[in-house]
Structure 1
Amino acid sequence: MQVAVVTGASSGIGRSAALQIAARGVGVILTYGSNRQGGEEAVAEIEKRGGTAVALPLDISDTAGFPAFREAVADALRTTWQRDTFDHLVNNAGFAGESMIEDTTEESFDRLTRGLFKGPFFLTRALLPLMADGGAIVNTTSNSALPHVTAPGYSVYASLKGAVTVLTRYMAKEFGPRGIRVNSVAPGATRTRFADNAFERHPEIIPEMARAFALGRIGEPDDIGMVIATLVSEEGRWITAQNIEVSGGQNL
């Protein structure tokens, strides 16, 4: 059985990706940050559907914890799947941050950098020895890094997501000799816990936002999770180094 590691899978896009990947017969090691209950519920849902999953804690902004996390992954692989390696990595964990450039502090800048760029970079580096040849990596970026979705207040967030888009291309080049494909998906506005659960707290903004989408609504987690699952599957075997916008035509 193939196994995938999906970070930030206690809710939203990450949880959907974990469920969609598991539905294709792949074992899943999923991670959670502060939302342990969400991680355990995702495991329960996968098991209820006949799949196999393990939930592990991970602070994506704390690189010092990565060696211990790698050992936890190795232990889960041996215990649950009798394997020494896993096949796919979905770098989804992260968090939002919004402030105008003139109001941005070094502290908030550094926090976002650790969570959105440094974390995924060094987590991938830490896990590479456990990755099997011929697998796939998917990085979650954002269409806020694309020219047609520029929004005031997201300069740091979008810039770091743009950096991950570039990193994706370089990973694809460097890991290609091992047969590892690397792509990124760039969601548009999606109904998740993003920005401190903004959509749940302010549902009145959704109809107005929906007008900016060619398909007439904002995204749902499964809209993106299904694409991630496809990219790590056999159907995505000839796709690498791509940043795929998955936004229903936002600002088209």
Structure 2
Amino acid sequence: MSTTKIALVTGGSRGLGKDMALNLGKKGIDVIITYNNNEAAATEVVKAIEALGQQAAALQLNMANLPSYNEFVQQVITTLQSKWNTSQFDFLINNAGIGGGLPIEKVTEEFFDEFLNVHFKGVYFLTQKLVPHLNNGGRVINISTGTTRFVNPGYSVYASMKGAVEVLTKYMAKEFGARGITVNIVAPGPIITDFNNATIRNNPKLQEFLSSLSPLNRVGEAEDIGPVVAFLCTGDAAWINGQRIEVAGGINL
């Protein structure tokens, strides 16, 4: 049986999740990524991880479809058994998400419920179903946002769900600790990716404004986040637990 560590990164086919997956590969960790729609992009990430000398696989998962989770967990177990000859893995990175901003007075119940399912309820129940298959001494890493600390109008729904996951992270750390599993949450600031229809990437004036809020006078890139998540999956981070780690360049200090 392989002694290589295995990570599962949800939403690993693009953006932050892709960079997390690649940086895990660089640390000598094998990776399973999930994708929602773009199988071709996921396949490219798998090839890039394999080019680093690690094993990788991609599975389809729609975080908004909670009834599909049991079948997804079975696919994870089947993949682990066929590719790694095990039914357990080591690191769960709850990264998958959707973007979108609306003023409070324009938020519909449908909009609210989609964000609730993907960003909070989904994280809660997917973790619940996968934790039995996590090795003792493993890691859970959730993903939040800088907008739980500072307010960006229009993000009331998104930030509220992420705030809920920040509280959940502490409870997970407390309850999973008996198995030596640490749980932390990483909160990126503004990042240039295709997230939320590439709002920041496609808007130079917004980039300029957000850069002006940072002591480092720039916005973040995916490459600023992936290495931090990968670090949290190493032995060097074993004593970090129950923490919100903001990776935002000191924005809005």
TM-score by length of 2: 0.96
Q: Which residue of 2 aligns with 1:51?
A: 54
**1:128 corresponds to 2:131:** yes
Using the TM superposition, give the Cα deviation of residue 204 of structure 1 relative to its aligned residue in structure 2, in angstroms.
4.0
C-alpha distance in 1, partners of 2:204/2:196? 13
1:202, distance to aligned residue in structure 2 (A): 2.4
- Cα-to-partner distance string for 1:197-231 (whole Å, 9 max, x where unaligned): 21343234322321111111111112111111111
Query: Partners in 2 of 1:233 and 1:191 — Cα distance?
Result: 26
Q: CA RMSD in A?
A: 1.0
The SS at the match of 1:201 is coil
CA distance in 2, matches of 1:64, 1:167: 21
Q: Is the 8 A contact 1:97 1:112 kept in 2?
A: no
Matched, 1:73 2:83: no
1:107 alignment partner in structure 2: 110
Q: Deviation string for 1:16-60 (max 9, x for gaps)?
A: 111111111111000011222221111111111211100111101
Structure 1: unaligned runs, 5 residues or longer: none
Q: In structure 1, what is the Cα distance between the partners aligned to 2:202 and 2:217?
A: 21
Identity %: 43
Structure 1 stretches of 4+ moved >3 Å: none
The 1:200/1:218 distance shift into structure 2, 3 A limit, reads: closer
Partner in structure 2 of residue 22 of structure 1? 25
Shift of 1:84: 1.5
Shift of 1:233: 1.1
Report the counterpart of residue 8 of structure 1 in structure 2: 11
Report the Cα distance in structure 2 between the residues aligned to 1:61 and 1:168, rounded to whole angstroms. Answer: 20
- Tell me the SS of whatever aligns to 2:71: helix
Q: Which residue is equivalent to 2:43?
A: 40
Following superposition of structure 1 onto structure 2, how do residues 1-252 of structure 1 map, counting pairs within 5 Å?
1-146=4-149, 149-252=150-253
Q: Write the deviation string for residues 92-112 of structure 1: whole angstroms up to 9, x where unpaired.
A: 001112111111111101111
Listed one character per residue, the Cα deviations across residues 121-152 of structure 1 (whole Å, up to 9, x for unaligned) are 11001111211110001000001011xx2011
How many Å apart are 1:77 and its aligned residue? 0.6
2:29 and 2:179 mapped to 1: Cα distance? 20
Cα offset, 1:244, TM superposition: 0.5
Work out the CA distance in 2 between the residues paired with 1:211 and 1:36. 37
TM-score after normalising by structure 1: 0.97
**Other structure's SS at 1:157 match:** helix
In the alignment of these two chains, the number of paired residues is: 250
Q: Residue type matched to 1:30 in 2? A: I
Q: Separation in 2 of the partners of 1:165 and 1:120?
A: 11
Matches of 1:80 and 1:108, distance apart in 2: 38
Unaligned runs of 5+ in 2: none
Letter in 2 for 1:57: Q
